[in-house]
Structure 1
Amino acid sequence: MFNDIHASAATAARPKDSLGCLSSQLRQDLELDTGEFKFYRKCTLGSDTSPVTMDGSGRGFLIGVSLQTGHRRRIYSQHRWVTHEFERDCVYVRDFADDYRAELLGGFDFVLIELSRNFVSDACHERGGSGLARIATVAGRKDPVLGHLAQVLALTLNAQSEASPLFIEQLGVTIGTHLLDRYGEASRRSNRNNRGLSALQEARAKEMLLARSQGNVSIEEIASACNLSRSYFIQAFRETTQRTPHQWLLERRIDQARELLKHSNHSLSEIGMACGFSDQSHFTRTFSQLVGMPPGHWRREACR
């Protein structure tokens, strides 16, 4: 009995991260905080069992997406323990307002997204609802859409210095929108959800996107200038242009790069920097993805 008490006290004394995991058991522990969104990558060192206990708080909602198969989790809910199996692309959703008790059984590799309560409340208002966030608590449910987004997010977390703030913000909004669509309480949708931007809004949004050569303008700034919420602005921009703001901006940068490649003697590095890319590698990679060939090859073909 004494040993059990001693072990429990030792476990409680060991440092834990902001999600209740023992920091000493994490092989990979990455975090990116954008304000209304926090993104995490948590991967364990081994297959030890560890407890997670957290009191309720006003932090918002947490979505965990498993990047691998083999994790199990016992969660205390409705006065009983229930074991959930996590394959790849399986998710859990937590409301931080609720007390949380769980036992993590075996190793895991998770991408996690924390959404602020303000973001969820604003998104509910935009959809014509009451603004009261009601999201189903789930565990071990397969969600291929979140699985795909988690893979993108994992790559982004591993290379944070190369990630565009605009892209990261859009990724958070996309995940939050999917969360409400899939797990949120059904609510009355506003009729304007099927409308795109007005001509004035479209012109203003594109002007603001192009005004920042490095693409650091935020969705919040543009949406505010258009008198829209972020989530609705992204939907309306896509409806109008068939592109997300980030995709549209990348295409404009590549258009500018092609003009410079064809009509100037600047080096690839100089052109990449002039068009808002962080370095030549980033420029070459993006150009190849969108055009189908590297910029140097394209320049030789275009200047024949």
Structure 2
Amino acid sequence: MITENRTLRAPASSAPVDRLGCALDRLALSQQLDVGELRFHRKHAQHGAFGKVETPAEDRGFLIGVSLKGGHQRRILRGPDAATHEFAEHAMYIRDFATDYRAELAGSFDFVLTEVPRAWLERLGADVSRHRVQGIAARTGERDDVLGHLVRALLPAFDAPGAHDKLFVEQMGVAIGLHLVSRYGGTSLRSAPRRAELSRWQEARAKELLLGGASTAVSIEAIAAECKLSPSYFIRAFRGSTGQTPYQWQLAQRIARAQHLLTRSAYSLVEVASVCGFTDQTHFTRVFSKAVGVAPGAWRKQNT
């Protein structure tokens, strides 16, 4: 499920603290996306001196934070010791929720954070490596441009969760997980099989479900379960069989159907958007224009 945004601007006298230890009255923006087992957050603060963040040890897996801009600093406290770290653009950190965390934050910040359950990460690692992945190594302040670009792709989904396809967000979550396993999990994706493909019945069933997604919600996890595969392996196998990810294939089918309706029916743009599985006409126009190079109304005039 993709949850709605929460934008917090009004300070409170005794503000509550979120699940990541941030005082809510000091956040200019707090947004959350729940997709499958992953939980994504966007946290933005404009305070020069944000204050302390504390979370007790819990069995929640790992937290990965990626800075979207520079100028942030945090002093991490470990018993009597402390270490200060500077965060530039795309600087990241990985911390294990299993240990107590205390830090003093200074400078405004804008982070995308991902909560990754330990069991989910281990299953993902088992799909792509012969070696067991038991966790990911802690990092603080290290620049990772690949991870930075991956989390930036999620920003439109934070701003308009209802207008963004769940399949896309799920696939980005798997891509982030694969990158974490490969770079910080002590293994290599090169040990995975070079090519994965679906059987004929799996491909047919997957496409049937993806095409049915125009009227009903569909998820990678549900389709993979129907094919008796893990989500990460299903994505690789679908791409091996079709040359596209499930999201790319579904989007191409929707665009093709929209083009057919635009030239061979009297449906309005609103009706075409609805029939083809787009959230609304605005969503349809944006996606169609990006894929085809011209807005649907103009394309209809050129082709009828």
Common fold by TM > 0.5: yes
Q: Deviations over 1:21-60 (max 9, x none)?
A: 1111111111122341111111113111411222221111
1:165 and 2:166 correspond = yes
1:187-226 alignment, distance < 5 Å? 191-192=192-193, 194-214=195-215, 216-226=217-227
Q: Distance in 2 between matches of 1:105 and 1:158?
A: 26
Q: Distance in 1 between matches of 2:215 and 2:251?
A: 11
Q: Deviations over 1:63-107 (max 9, x none)?
A: 111111100112235973222111111111111112212211222
Aligned to 2:236: 235
Farther-moved stretch of structure 1 (143-152 vs 192-201): 192-201
- What is the Cα-based RMSD across aligned positions, in Å? 2.0
Q: How far off is 1:112 after superposition?
A: 0.7
Aligned to 1:127: 128
1:49-88 alignment, distance < 5 Å? 49-76=50-77, 80-88=81-89
Q: Distance in 1 between matches of 2:292 and 2:50?
A: 49
Q: Distance in 2 between matches of 1:187 and 1:129?
A: 9
Whether the aligned pair in 1 keeps the contact of 2:130 and 2:192 (CA below 8 Å) is no
Whether the aligned pair in 2 keeps the contact of 1:288 and 1:295 (CA below 8 Å) is yes
Q: Distance in 2 between matches of 1:49 and 1:254?
A: 46
Change (3 A) 1:191 1:200: farther
Q: Deviations over 1:223-258 (max 9, x none)?
A: 112221111111222232222211110110010011
Aligned amino acid, residue 235 of structure 2: I
Say which one has the larger Rg. 1
Aligned to 2:7: none
Aligned to 1:94: 95
Change (3 A) 1:120 1:79: farther
Q: Deviations over 1:245-295 (max 9, x none)?
A: 111101100100111111111111111111111111111111111111111
Farther-moved stretch of structure 1 (237-246 vs 15-24): 237-246
Structure with greater helix share of residues: 1
Q: How far off is 1:133 after superposition?
A: 2.2
Q: Distance in 1 between matches of 2:85 and 2:221?
A: 37
Whether the aligned pair in 1 keeps the contact of 2:36 and 2:170 (CA below 8 Å) is no
Q: Distance in 2 between matches of 1:193 and 1:79?
A: 49
SS in 2 for 1:194: coil
* TM-score (norm. length: structure 1): 0.89
1:5-84 alignment, distance < 5 Å? 15-76=16-77, 80-84=81-85
SS in 2 for 1:98: coil
* TM-score (norm. length: structure 2): 0.89
Aligned amino acid, residue 119 of structure 1: W
Report % sequence identity.
47
Q: How far off is 1:186 after superposition?
A: 1.6
Structure 1: tracts of 5 or more residues without a match: 1-12
Q: Distance in 1 between matches of 2:202 and 2:78?
A: 47
Aligned amino acid, residue 213 of structure 1: A
Q: Distance in 1 between matches of 2:145 and 2:191?
A: 27
Change (3 A) 1:35 1:274: closer
